[in-house]
Structure 1
Amino acid sequence: METDCTRDDAPVNAPAERTPPCAEPAPLPAGTRLLHIGPHKTGTTSIQGALFGAKDRMPAYGVEFPATSRHPMQAVLAACSRGGMIGDTTPTERHWEQLLEQVRATGARTSVISSEFFADAPDDATVERVVGQLGGDRVHVLVTLRPLARIMPSQWQQYVQNGLRMGYEDWLEHMLRKAPYEKPNPSFWRRHRHDRLIERWVRVVGADRVTVVVVDDRDREGLMRTFETLLGLPAHLLRPVPDTANRSLTLAETEMLRNLNKEFRGNGLPDELYSKLIRNGAVMHMKNACSPASHDVKISTPAWAVAAAAEIGAEMAGRITAMGVRVIGDPELLSAAPEPAARATAAEVRIAPEVAAQALYGALAAVAAAPPARAGARGVHQTSSKELVKVLGRRCLERLRRH
């Protein structure tokens, strides 16, 4: 089994004594700035929604949520020198400065900042800058983890939502078997080689200011209870907030989008149009309007990749528990290997007509009104479909620029 991409030497800064795994949560000191860095697909959206939903009630218990939205993504992307999603406006340093102003306004009170994009910090210097600007010694880093085998399908379909055209099994081959394991998504292992992620932050803040929470998917609200304990909040103050826009796509939906990505790229359309029409038009409306049914086929990971993920997870768990960080939950869950699902037939992954209709409607609803036809212009029936797509793309882009 080729998993060289996951090997490394002993962890840095490994202490002589180990913190016992599965340590019970204990409240953090008053005035802590709790920095939740994700990574992606580890319950970040649910906890961000719960924190934002309780934003007005937490100050009564000495806790602030210093952000004006559920997820200050633009600010964190700017801080980590990352561009936005395909076609989106590039974040600026001003986004980050605005978040810092909100954090500083919390004064000596406890505060919590959450974004999975902190896990994309490219180097130690960026981590040091982020920690220093957020409060230095007051910062306590929280990392949430799930089994790699459960993260992979979710992360793949998320990449497809940002323009990826590669099929799942081919993508797994590249991530697990094809050195240097960075194509087509170099961000995957930076986020999800979890032991190395934690090491990067330990090098800056020290092991005593890092807490790792191993999420147990069998306890749907366990993560919220852990946050309440760490922040000194009463039980059940944090409640789930429904967010259909963040649901994962089914296999059929993902395959429809992946093939649309191929057509989009093949016609050379601009990224801005993808952001407007596809991700924030077709896909967003489809996810809001359609809920997966029990018969819809989910994305399943082949047995060889599940086994590889379990092996990597076991190695990561051993390295993490040797770092001296506080670990809440069972590290052995990181090597969990879910039973591979039976391979779906082509008929089973066909998208339902109503789902396709909602996706199409979402794209149409996002299209700005086309300008009036010019005199002498050719009719639609006289123009090739490829040329029509290009014309529509130019018109929509011009409209976007005017607004």
Structure 2
Amino acid sequence: MSVVYVHVGLPKTGTTHVQDRLWRNRDHALARAGLLYPGNRIDDHFHAAAHLQPERYLDWADPAHAGVWPSMVAQMRAWRGSSLVSHELFANAGPEHIRRLVADLSFADEVHAVLTVRDLARQVPSVWQENVKNQRQATLDEFVESISDDHAGPDQEPFWEFQDYRRITADWSEVVGPERVHIVTVPAPGTASDGDGLWERFVRALGMDPADLPAEVPSSNKSLSATQTELLRRLNGRLQPEDIEWRRYERLVKGVLIGDYLFATRDGRPEGLTGPQAAWAARKSEEMVAELVRRGHPVAGTVQDLRVTATAGDESAAVTDGDVVEAALDVIALWAKTGPVPDRSPALTTRAADLVRRVRRRLMR
């Protein structure tokens, strides 16, 4: 029987790690589990998701990659077992996009949606920090205020567009049926036992044995400490779109400053919710979990992982100016010790040419 699973995220729920591991295990998955993870490059799933919503992702829907999704569909059509497509840009696909995608998969006997979901106490600060890594300047307090119910509006931070699993499950249920919308919960801190982490839950939701996909990958998409995030947030005040083009910011700030230096000097916990913010998250979570339970979707893990206690707030001391200066000095020191040393001496070919000229001058005397 031909079955296609569409992993729609949610963003910041371990999706990058899951996708890296799926790509690393694609040969094992095909040979041992009968699972096709299509595509010729790891970023093909990104291009497929972007082209499903070209009006929304105009900058990313590059015509050069327009053939990626048809190619992936052809691969899945030719495979009579299970297939999996995975990218978090599918999370904000509306009913019309979902129907179009399912129509493209009309050859399949069944289409299922898979959502990886994490509790709001961890999800909200994680999404905020990711925003800071992408040139944003809002503080966590400002971010939480912008996504609270009392501040909904046309200019609202688009957090719920990707994170409201009630809407996302409802939209997919309308097209594929609620029994084919699977919830995979990210284990609550300290609750996952051996063999019950996110990866194992995800693979079991596909009806497969994690032992058949044994290749591991390093942890990716790490978190910055509260101090480092504040350093970057302040730096963003000088690196807005009018100051620096995105490609340069992405390569130098995200790739080098964050990837090579801030992660290497990380010291301390990420910033978390305060007590009042955690109380809000607890109330909101109860509403969302209750709706999930009412719909009866199959769950890998437990919905208890999605509940937030009102005492989950992070009461750590506020980051000071001195803390930010120390974090900056740590980065500069690491750069001085390990960064590439520019070669300011003349190129070898230039020195050789100068030598030849000097010899010729002597011969001409």
Give the shorter-chain TM-score range: 0.7 to 0.9
Summarize the alignment of residues 118-267 of structure 1 with structure 2, pairs less than 5 Å apart: 118-121=90-93, 123-135=94-106, 137-176=109-148, 178-180=150-152, 183=155, 185-186=157-158, 188-217=159-188, 218-219=191-192, 221-236=196-211, 237-244=213-220, 246-265=221-240
* TM-score (normalised: structure 1): 0.72
Residue matched to 1:99 = 69
SS in 1 for 2:60: coil
Deviation of 1:306 after TM superposition, in Å, equals 0.9
Q: 1:125 to 1:292 in 2, by over 3 A?
A: same
Q: Which moved more, 1:302-311 or 1:125-134?
A: 125-134
Residue matched to 1:75 = 48
Mapped partners of 2:280, 2:215: distance in 1: 35
Deviations 1:7-55 (A, max 9, x none): xxxxxxxxxxxxxxxxxxxxxxx42111111101212122112211111
SS in 2 for 1:269: coil
Counterpart residue identity of residue 21, structure 2: A
Whose helix proportion is higher, 1 or 2?
2
Mapped partners of 2:270, 2:114: distance in 1: 30
* Aligned equivalent of 1:282, options 243, 247, 257: 257
Mapped partners of 2:290, 2:122: distance in 1: 19
SS in 2 for 1:285: helix
Residue matched to 1:328 = 300
Q: 1:211 to 1:231 in 2, by over 3 A?
A: closer
Deviation of 1:124 after TM superposition, in Å, equals 1.3
Counterpart residue identity of residue 175, structure 2: V
SS in 2 for 1:172: helix
Listed as ranges, the gaps of 5+ residues in structure 1 are: 1-29, 370-403
SS in 2 for 1:307: helix
Q: Does 1:31 align with 2:11?
A: no
Deviation of 1:157 after TM superposition, in Å, equals 0.6
Mapped partners of 2:255, 2:293: distance in 1: 40
Summarize the alignment of residues 381-400 of structure 1 with structure 2, pairs less than 5 Å apart: none
Residue matched to 1:353 = 329
Residue matched to 1:271 = 246
Counterpart residue identity of residue 164, structure 2: R
Identity level (%): 26
Mapped partners of 1:56, 1:287: distance in 2: 35
Mapped partners of 2:137, 2:156: distance in 1: 9
Mapped partners of 2:110, 2:241: distance in 1: 50
Counterpart residue identity of residue 259, structure 1: R
Deviation of 1:150 after TM superposition, in Å, equals 0.9
Deviation of 1:146 after TM superposition, in Å, equals 1.0
Mapped partners of 2:172, 2:336: distance in 1: 43
Mapped partners of 1:99, 1:181: distance in 2: 34
Deviations 1:315-338 (A, max 9, x none): 111111222322232223322236
Mapped partners of 1:59, 1:260: distance in 2: 46
Residue matched to 2:278 = 306
* Aligned equivalent of 1:51, options 2, 15, 22: 22
Deviations 1:281-328 (A, max 9, x none): 32232356x0634xx142121111111111111111111122232223
Residue matched to 1:117 = 89
Deviation of 1:228 after TM superposition, in Å, equals 3.1
Contact 1:297 / 1:348 at 8 angstroms: preserved in 2? Answer: no
Q: 1:299 to 1:182 in 2, by over 3 A?
A: farther
Deviations 1:112-170 (A, max 9, x none): 1111111022x211121122224465321011111111101110010111111111111
Counterpart residue identity of residue 229, structure 2: T
* TM-score (normalised: structure 2): 0.79
SS in 2 for 1:108: coil
Contact 2:47 / 2:68 at 8 angstroms: preserved in 1? Answer: no
Mapped partners of 1:323, 1:66: distance in 2: 31
Listed as ranges, the gaps of 5+ residues in structure 2 are: 345-365
Mapped partners of 1:359, 1:77: distance in 2: 36
SS in 1 for 2:317: coil
Q: 1:225 to 1:268 in 2, by over 3 A?
A: closer
Q: 1:161 to 1:32 in 2, by over 3 A?
A: same
Contact 2:39 / 2:71 at 8 angstroms: preserved in 1? Answer: no
Residue matched to 1:11 = none
Mapped partners of 1:134, 1:108: distance in 2: 13
Q: 1:157 to 1:182 in 2, by over 3 A?
A: farther
RMSD: 3.0
Contact 1:297 / 1:344 at 8 angstroms: preserved in 2? Answer: no
Deviation of 1:101 after TM superposition, in Å, equals 1.1
SS in 2 for 1:142: strand
Mapped partners of 2:308, 2:105: distance in 1: 35
Q: 1:305 to 1:66 in 2, by over 3 A?
A: same
Contact 1:149 / 1:309 at 8 angstroms: preserved in 2? Answer: yes
Q: Which structure has more RCO (C-alpha within 8 Å, separation ≥ 6)?
A: 1
Deviation of 1:360 after TM superposition, in Å, equals 9.2
Q: Which structure has the larger Rg?
A: 2
